[in-house]
Amino acid sequence: MPIFLNTTDTDFEAAFAAFLTTKREDSPDVDAVVADIIADVRARGDAAVIELTAKFDRLELTPQTLAFTPEEIETECAKVSAEDRAALELAAERIRAYHARQMPEDASWQDDTGATLGWRWGPVSAAGLYVPGGLASYPSSVLMNAIPAKVAGVERLAIAVPTPDGICNPLVLLAARIAGVDEIYRIGGAQAIAALAYGTETIAPVDKITGPGNAFVAAAKRRVFGKVGIDMIAGPSEILVIADRNNEPDWIAVDLLSQAEHDESAQSILITDNADFGQAVTAAVEKRLETLERRQIAGKSWRDFGAVIVVQDMAEAVVLSDRIAPEHLELCVADADAMAVQVKHAGAIFIGAWTPEAIGDYVGGPNHVLPTARSARFSSGLSVMDFVKRTTLSKMTPQALAAIGPAAERLAISESLEAHGLSVRARLDRLNET
C-alpha cells in the first residue's frame, strides 16, 4: 500500500520528513570497478573497450565495427514504421523549436570609466551522449539529448549505445539520424564513458558527456567530471500530482502510473485537499494495475514509494511540493496558472488537467531530462545551456585603468600578490610619466 498522510495528523511532520529522506535506490558501490575500467581504457584504448564489450554485452567487436556504418544505420532505420517515423519527426521538430529559444545572448557595454565589458557564448566543440541499451533504450531520450546539442552548435556529436547480444533498437538509430548525430558507437557502461572522455585509437575524445545510465555509467561520469563536462547524475525519477476533487480519478491514476512504470524505485505522489478524492484515485490506480503491461514494476513502485498526502488547502500543497522539489509536477487544480507561479522548486510543471506529464516526455517541446531526487532545488533540466560556455570580456582604456587600477593594486597588496599589483602599477606609472 502507498503511504497515506494527512497534514492534520499529529505526527505528520515526522512522517513527512521521514518520507522525504526515504532512500529509494540501493546504489551498489561500483566505484572501484569503474576506476579499474577507466584506467584500462586509458591504457589500452580500443583493445580494452572491445574486451569489456565482449564481457558485458556478449558482443565481439573490432576497431572497424565499434561504430555503426552509414549503411547499417540506413538498414536499421528502414525497419521503422511510417507512423513511428512521423511521431519521432513531430517530436524532434517541437523539441527543436522549444530549445532554439534557449540560446543565450552575448552582451557588450561600456561603463562609466570607459571600460568595455561583456561576454560571448560559444558551443562546446564535441559532445558525447550516452543512451542506455536494452529495456531502457529510449529514442525519445536521444532526441532530448542530441537536439539541444545541435541547436547549441556542437560540431561533433557522438552517441554510445550498448547493443547487448548485438540487439539494437532501430528507433534509437532513427532518432539519432533525425537529430543530426555524427557518430554512433555500439558500446556501453563505464568503458563507453571512458572512451568518450579520454578517447581511443578509433574514438576521438569529446568535451562534454550527457545522458542517463546505470550505476556503472553514473560512477564513471562522476569520475571523468573535470576532464570533460557532464550533465548530472540522474537518480530514480518522480512525479507529484496536485489535484483537487474536480478531476477524473482515472486520469490522475494513469498519470501516477506513467511514472511508476519506469522502474521500481520511481515515485508517484498525489497531494489533494480532498481525502475522498485521494481514495478514489488510489482505487483507480489499483484497477489500472490489474491490466497494465508493466504492472509488476509499476505496482511495486506504487506500493513501496507511492504516497497520497491530504492537505487542508492548496497553499499547504505548494509548501510541501517545494520541500519535495519534484522532477515532474502536475497541477490539476482550479487556477493552475496561479499555482505554477507560486512553485519555487520543480524540474518541470505541467499546467492543468489537459497536460499529462507524458506529453512532456515526448512531444511537448521542453526537455524530459530533468533534475531528480530533490535536485530541482539547485539544478535545471537539460538545455542548450549545457552545450555552450561563456567567455567573459574586459577591455580597459588608459583612463579606465587610471580610475580602477589603484583599487586593484591595493587589493593585490592586501592579498600579498605583489606581481598582481605590479602588473597594474607598471601601466599606471606610464600614464603618470606622460
248-267 residues near a copy of itself, rule: CB under 8 A: 248, 250-251, 254-255, 257-258, 260-262
Cell numbers of 406, please? 589603484
Q: Is 163 in the site for a copy of itself (CB under 8 A)?
A: no
Q: Is 433 in the site for a copy of itself (CB under 8 A)?
A: no
Q: The C-alpha cell of 261 is what?
A: 512504470
Work out whether 109 is an interface residue with a copy of itself (CB under 8 A): yes
Of residues 68-107, those binding a copy of itself (CB under 8 A): 83-84, 86-88, 90-91, 94, 97-98, 101, 104, 107
- Rounded to a whole number of angstroms, the minimum distance from the CB of residue 8 to a copy of itself is 27
Looking at 33, 115, 204, 275, which residue binds a copy of itself (CB under 8 A)? 115
The closest of 109, 102, 75, 124 to 231, measured between CA atoms, is 124
Q: What share of the chain is helix, strand, coil (3-state, %, to 5)?
A: 50, 15, 35
- DSSP, residue by residue, 294-305: THHHHHHHHHHH
Part of the chain binding a copy of itself (CB under 8 A), chosen from 39-47, 51-59, 179-187, 425-433: 425-433
Looking at 58, 79, 287, 377, which residue binds a copy of itself (CB under 8 A)? Answer: 377
List, in order, residues 6 or more apart from 83 with CB less than 8 Å away.
none
From CA 348, how far away is CA 366, in angstroms rounded?
Answer: 8
Is 418 a binder of a copy of itself (CB under 8 A)? yes
Q: What cell numbers appear for 337 in the block?
A: 496558472
Angle at 374 between CA 367 and CA 266, to 5 degrees: 75
C-alpha cell at 173: 538509430
User: DSSP letters along 85-132, please?
Assistant: HHHHHHHHHHHHHHHHTTPPPPEEEE-TTS-EEEEEEEE-SEEEEE--
Residues 179-238 that bind a copy of itself (CB under 8 A): 207-208, 222, 225-226, 228-229, 232-233, 235
Burial class (CB in 10 A: 0-12, 13-18, 19+), 226: exposed
Residue 147 Cβ, how far from a copy of itself at the closest point, in Å? 14
Query: Is 328 annotated as catalytic?
Result: yes
Instruction: Between 62 and 426, name the residue whose CB sits nearer to a copy of itself.
Output: 426
Task: Assess 28 for contact with a copy of itself (CB under 8 A).
Answer: no
Determine whether the annotation assigns residue 71 to a binding site. no
The verdict on 30 binding a copy of itself (CB under 8 A) reads: no
| The residue to which cell 507560486 is assigned | 342
Report the residue from 426, 432, 433, 434 that binds a copy of itself according to the rule CB under 8 A.
426
Q: How many Cβ atoms sit within 10 Å of the Cβ of residue 168? A: 20
345 is in an annotated binding site: no
Q: Of 328, 330, 357, 368, which residue is the catalytic one?
A: 328
Please give the positions annotated as active site: 327-328
Binding residue numbers:
130, 191, 214, 237, 259, 262, 328, 361, 415, 420
